[in-house]
Chain A
Amino acid sequence: MTSSIATHLPAAVAMASAPASADGFLALAWLLVALPLAGSAILLLAGRRADPWGHWLGVFASAASFVVGLVMLIVVLGRGSGDRVVDLRLFRWLPAGHLNVDVGLRIDPLSLTFVLLVTFVGTLIHVYSVAYMEHDGDRRRFFAFLNLFVAAMLLLVLADSFLLLFVGWEGVGLVSYLLIGFWFQHTPNAVAAKKAFIANRIGDMGLLIALMIMFATYGAVDFSTVLGGAAGVSEGTLTAIGLMLLLAACGKSAQFPLQSWLGDAMAGPTPVSALIHAATMVTAGVYLVVRAGPIYEAAPTAQLVVVIVGAITLLFGAVIGCAKDDIKKALAASTMSQIGYMFLAAGLGPIGYAFAIFQLVTHGFFKAGLFLGAGSVMHGMDEQVDMRNFGGLHRYMRITWITFGLGWLAILGVPPFSGFWSKDKIIEAAFVGEGWRPWVFGSVALLGAGLTAFYMSRVFFMTFHGEKRWNDGHSATPDTTIARSAVQHPHESPRLMTWPMIVLAAGSVALGGLLSIGGAFTSWLEPVTGGVEEHVPVLPVWLLITLTLGLVVAGLWLAWRQYSQAPVPVVAPAGSVLTRAARKDLYQDGVNDGLLVQPGQYLTRSLVYGDRAVIDGAVGGLGRVMVRLGEATRRWQTGYVRSYAATMTIGVVALVAVVLATQI
């Protein structure tokens, strides 16, 4: 059976269906999840006693996990590329009739890539947070949640079944909720947390339904069975599973139409935005799509929908990013747009998987770096986030300026920075194909590159260049170009904050190029994603690179002229229709409100009304009828013994009469 399927499948799937079992150091993979989980438990249970040292325990747990991951990488690299997929069965979790689910971990190039990204960036952000959250009384709780996040995220990527993946999936959703609402004392934060949670919940429903279809179809939910048996199942079922998984991915990765929560999620502390809402958690959707690759390959409709969702979100995020004045929200829109690129690539099939993950890794570095830079700026500017009140900060924050600048060049896709190597490949891959698809998706990817250049340059120039638009306390006559806020003393952040930024900036510069040498990264992922055959784009590659770079330079020049050379108004101008729409997230909240929230509220209100009128009316009416009946009949109960006796007598006489009458 297995061999007959394997002959029809690509090499990657055949290998995935027969993973080696873990031995040696790889059998310790559970430590990856257990270490941060233990750290989180200690921090949460120890209470205030852990306040003085809790944050360092958090850093240690995360760093230890990274070291374990690094050693595992070395061990796995030491194996042949044929047996780099390793399954580690831990224990039987759910023995329930036909459904037997084991808790097991799958160590393969894809999960190891994620493990290293999550633990490395995670550890840097832990270190950064030590300084960033220094003046917060709840720093220990913050680190407990961060550790819990690392544990849940690692469980998500290491799981060897969709059900265990779901546990991690819910775990990161929970931590995301807890951390967006970390400063829950302030109502908008709590509301933003709830919004993120509910939007994610819609996606989670999709994952649950996908799990149910899988169980109904295969009788199992582990990767080997589900992905290995994809070829023998009808296309309709696979399309259903694919679309449901996509719904889950959209919720988690803030893709259209479930993207509205990500902007509000910026209410959380900046390290959270960097780690969870930029580098790792929001990319879990891409992981899911790439992991479920064999399903999508057998269901072209679902695959096409993935590309379309990616393309829409790509433009959506980019347009929103062009109009946002809040530095974190502009970066959030950019995250949305960049993940759109990853979805687009992931939807292109095996040709795009490796580039989707590649973009994910480089993006994890430069976007985390950009967010940490934004956090550093906010740290120096009294938690200001409005870029219209920044300007000229490059003189005051040298390190932040340089590291942010390197991240900016990386996200623009300027060679030889990281983003170039991944994004350019995605654009090339988008131009591969037949018919209308390469033209539409390729043009969207190209246009996105230009828009990215514009809005990221806008963020960079508005923050660090141009005239300073904050009150430094020296201007004699405060005029309208200076924000009427308190006196600001921008200053560079402490070393604990700048070092992580420097490391991430170094990654933004070099990682993409290093991993591209000889196609190192794509061949590393090959056991999971399958081999990438050579495809020829519909346009020559040199033309595509020229076009991309041309658009990037155009976007950069426009932003430079408008936000560095010309004065930036402190109060946002009214702007065009598109600008106003983009400021309001292209009316996504309004659409959600009109399409879902209002009808939902109307439905609940009418249900409440129905409940009161019909159900309560029936129940209450029955009660009232009984009361009336009782009031009428109680008159018969006079309390006089004689009347009772008379009733009895009359009754007996009547009974006897009836009996006699029937006998005659």
Chain B
Amino acid sequence: MSLTNYLVLASILFAIGATTVLLRRNAIVVFMGVELMLNAANLMLVTFARIHGDLSGQVMAFFVMVVAAAEVVIGLAIIVQIFRTRRSASVDDVNLLKS
């Protein structure tokens, strides 16, 4: 397996994740898009760590996972709260910053 394949895969995953975040309205799905982007980044980090024979990339990936886990916990809690109060999980409904 060459380096290019990993990079292309990671890029495709990142693009899918970004598109999901930008285009979907459901907050849960947007969240999943974010996760996808994070994992694409992780894949990239691990790939380069392997190629350079340096573990720091893998350590970085662990950090990303830990932060992602924390973020999921808080993010999901917020989404649940919003859903409870507004009966909707659409991100477009949460535009209180305007006006």
CA distance A589 to B38 in the complex (A): 89
CA distance A645 to B23 in the complex (A): 10
CA distance A637 to B21 in the complex (A): 18
CA distance A639 to B95 in the complex (A): 4
CB proximity to B under 8 Å, residues A596-651? 637-642, 645-646, 649
CB-defined A-B contacts under 8 Å, sample of 11? A637-B98, A638-B95, A639-B95, A639-B97, A639-B99, A641-B95, A642-B30, A642-B92, A645-B21, A646-B22, A649-B18
Q: Would you give the shortest CB distance from A351 to chain B, in whole angstroms?
A: 91
Choose one: A639, A642, A649; the contact of B98 (CB below 8 Å).
Answer: A639
Contacts of B23 in A (CB 8 A): 642
Task: Evaluate contact between B91 and A641: CB separation under 8 angstroms.
Answer: yes
Q: Would you give the shortest CB distance from B12 to chain A, in whole angstroms?
A: 16
B9 lies within 8 A of chain A by Cβ? no
CA distance A646 to B98 in the complex (A): 17
Interface, chain B (partner A; CB < 8 A): 18, 21-23, 25, 30, 91-92, 94-99
Contacts of A640 in B (CB 8 A): 91-92, 95
Contacts of B95 in A (CB 8 A): 638-641
Q: Is the interface of A mostly helix, strand, loop or mixed?
A: helix
CA distance A641 to B23 in the complex (A): 11
CA distance A389 to B66 in the complex (A): 110
Contacts of B99 in A (CB 8 A): 639
Task: Evaluate contact between A642 and B97: CB separation under 8 angstroms.
Answer: no
Task: Evaluate contact between A642 and B91: CB separation under 8 angstroms.
Answer: yes
Interface residues on A, range: under 10
Contacts of A641 in B (CB 8 A): 91-92, 94-95
Most chain A beta-carbon contacts within 10 A, residue among B18, B22, B25, B91: B22
Contacts of B25 in A (CB 8 A): 642
Q: A641-B91, A641-B92 are in contact. List 11 more A-B contacts (CB 8 A).
A: A638-B95, A639-B96, A640-B91, A641-B94, A641-B95, A642-B21, A642-B22, A642-B25, A642-B92, A645-B21, A649-B18
Task: Evaluate contact between B97 and A637: CB separation under 8 angstroms.
Answer: yes
Contacts of A637 in B (CB 8 A): 97-98
For A644, give the chain B residue with the smallest CB separation. Answer: B97
CA distance A641 to B95 in the complex (A): 7
Contacts of A639 in B (CB 8 A): 95-99
Contacts of B91 in A (CB 8 A): 640-642
CA distance A159 to B34 in the complex (A): 88
For B27, give the chain A residue with the smallest CB separation. Answer: A641
Q: Would you give the shortest CB distance from B46 to chain A, in whole angstroms?
A: 21
Contacts of A642 in B (CB 8 A): 21-23, 25, 30, 91-92
Contacts of B94 in A (CB 8 A): 641
Q: Would you give the shortest CB distance from B97 to chain A, in whole angstroms?
A: 5
CA distance A642 to B22 in the complex (A): 5
CA distance A465 to B42 in the complex (A): 122
CB proximity to B under 8 Å, residues A51-79? none
CA distance A268 to B21 in the complex (A): 88
Contacts of A649 in B (CB 8 A): 18, 22
Q: Would you give the shortest CB distance from A654 to chain B, in whole angstroms?
A: 14
CA distance A637 to B97 in the complex (A): 9
Choose one: B22, B96, B98; the contact of A645 (CB below 8 Å).
Answer: B22
Which 10 residue pairs spanning A and B have beta carbons closest together? A639-B98, A639-B95, A641-B91, A646-B22, A639-B97, A645-B21, A640-B92, A640-B95, A642-B22, A645-B22
Contacts of B18 in A (CB 8 A): 649
Contacts of A645 in B (CB 8 A): 21-22
Task: Evaluate contact between A638 and B22: CB separation under 8 angstroms.
Answer: no
CA distance A497 to B53 in the complex (A): 119
CA distance A640 to B21 in the complex (A): 12
Q: Would you give the shortest CB distance from A640 to chain B, in whole angstroms?
A: 6
CA distance A641 to B21 in the complex (A): 10
CA distance A80 to B74 in the complex (A): 104
Contacts of B96 in A (CB 8 A): 639
For B92, give the chain A residue with the smallest CB separation. Answer: A640
CA distance A645 to B37 in the complex (A): 13
Q: Would you give the shortest CB distance from B63 to chain A, in whole angstroms?
A: 20
Contacts of A646 in B (CB 8 A): 22
Q: Would you give the shortest CB distance from A288 to chain B, in whole angstroms?
A: 73
Most chain A beta-carbon contacts within 10 A, residue among B23, B92, B96: B92
CA distance A641 to B34 in the complex (A): 13
Most chain B beta-carbon contacts within 10 A, residue among A637, A641, A645, A649: A641
CA distance A507 to B4 in the complex (A): 124
CA distance A640 to B96 in the complex (A): 9
CA distance A641 to B22 in the complex (A): 9
CA distance A297 to B68 in the complex (A): 97
For B25, give the chain A residue with the smallest CB separation. Answer: A642
CA distance A641 to B31 in the complex (A): 12
CA distance A641 to B93 in the complex (A): 10
Q: Would you give the shortest CB distance from A395 to chain B, in whole angstroms?
A: 94
For A652, give the chain B residue with the smallest CB separation. Answer: B18
CA distance A645 to B20 in the complex (A): 11
CA distance A645 to B31 in the complex (A): 13
Q: Would you give the shortest CB distance from B41 to chain A, in whole angstroms?
A: 13
Q: Would you give the shortest CB distance from B49 to chain A, in whole angstroms?
A: 21
CA distance A318 to B95 in the complex (A): 88
Q: Would you give the shortest CB distance from A642 to chain B, in whole angstroms?
A: 6
Q: Would you give the shortest CB distance from A572 to chain B, in whole angstroms?
A: 78
Contacts of B97 in A (CB 8 A): 637, 639
Q: Would you give the shortest CB distance from B4 to chain A, in whole angstroms?
A: 17
Task: Evaluate contact between B98 and A638: CB separation under 8 angstroms.
Answer: yes
CA distance A645 to B21 in the complex (A): 8
CA distance A638 to B21 in the complex (A): 17
For B91, give the chain A residue with the smallest CB separation. Answer: A641
Contacts of A638 in B (CB 8 A): 95, 98
CB proximity to B under 8 Å, residues A431-468? none
CA distance A649 to B17 in the complex (A): 12
For A653, give the chain B residue with the smallest CB separation. Answer: B18
CA distance A618 to B53 in the complex (A): 65
For B96, give the chain A residue with the smallest CB separation. Answer: A639
CA distance A637 to B30 in the complex (A): 20
Contacts of B21 in A (CB 8 A): 642, 645
For A637, give the chain B residue with the smallest CB separation. Answer: B98
CA distance A645 to B97 in the complex (A): 15
Q: Would you give the shortest CB distance from A230 to chain B, in whole angstroms?
A: 79
CA distance A646 to B21 in the complex (A): 9
CA distance A645 to B96 in the complex (A): 16
CA distance A37 to B55 in the complex (A): 93
CA distance A492 to B22 in the complex (A): 107
Q: Would you give the shortest CB distance from B64 to chain A, in whole angstroms?
A: 17
Contacts of B92 in A (CB 8 A): 640-642
